[in-house]
A and B are shown apart, each in its own frame.
Chain A
Amino acid sequence: EAGVAQSPRYKIIEKRQSVAFWCNPISGHATLYWYQQILGQGPKLLIQFQNNGVVDDSQLPKDRFSAERLKGVDSTLKIQPAKLEDSAVYLCASSLGAGQIDYGYTFGSGTRLTVV
């Protein structure tokens, strides 16, 4: 089974620039998550999709972050404009469903973003 694919692996941008990350979940996984992991901290949920609908985006800084999941498969996360504090690893994960009976997430390798 192919894993969760993310690109790019690394990105360095200047503050106020924009950046986009891409994620392709495991085939058949209805739920897709974007997490932000700042160095020394655990992953923090940014947005959760169920198919192509948003389930939870309560912690997404909507003034600068946006995400979409067209056709319920691939997803992109965008930051515009970036701030220094956005430097982090952005993780994409997928799972079969969002119900209580779940089997944990499968994570991608992440995109390490450095904002200078």
Chain B
Amino acid sequence: AQSVSQHNHHVILSEAASLELGCNYSYGGTVNLFWYVQYPGQHLQLLLKYFSGDPLVKGIKGFEAEFIKSKFSFNLRKPSVQWSDTAEYFCAVKTNAGKSTFGDGTTLTVKP
């Protein structure tokens, strides 16, 4: 069965710092990859997705993620975080059998 690992449970940054959240998955076949975000008091929202093509994917609010197939990774990045980026971030993997698995999430706290 596939699994998703998010290495950082809680990340604390100051505003304007750069962000990179790790996501690794275990599945040998074709995958679709997603990052979701949950702002305080809100529901999960899609941040960005990868299906095929350019491994560097750009999402909303200046986020991007890079799919590195050889490393089974899909790390999320942002060059300069803002206080409003404080949220919980979930990586998810969907296999070609349609099964989706979520990581346990990374809580990002941005200090003003």
Contact = CB atoms under 8 A, between A and B. Distances in A.
Given A100-B30, A100-B32, A100-B96, A43 B90 contact: yes
Contact of A42 (B30, B51, B98, B103): B103
Nearest to A55: B98
Contacts of A42: 4, 6, 90, 92, 102-105
Contact of B98 (A99, A108, A109): A99
Nearest to A91: B44
A107 interface: yes
A62 interface: no
Main secondary structure of the interface of A (DSSP, over half): loop
B61 interface: no
Interface string B85-108: 000001010101011111111000
Chain A interface size range? 20 to 34
Contacts of B100: 33, 45, 105
B34 interface: yes
Interface in A33-65: 33, 35, 40-45, 48, 55-56
17 contacts: A33-B100, A42-B4, A42-B6, A42-B92, A42-B105, A43-B102, A45-B100, A45-B101, A48-B98, A55-B98, A91-B43, A93-B44, A103-B49, A104-B36, A104-B49, A105-B100, A106-B46
Interface of A: 3, 33, 35, 40-45, 48, 55-56, 91, 93, 98-110
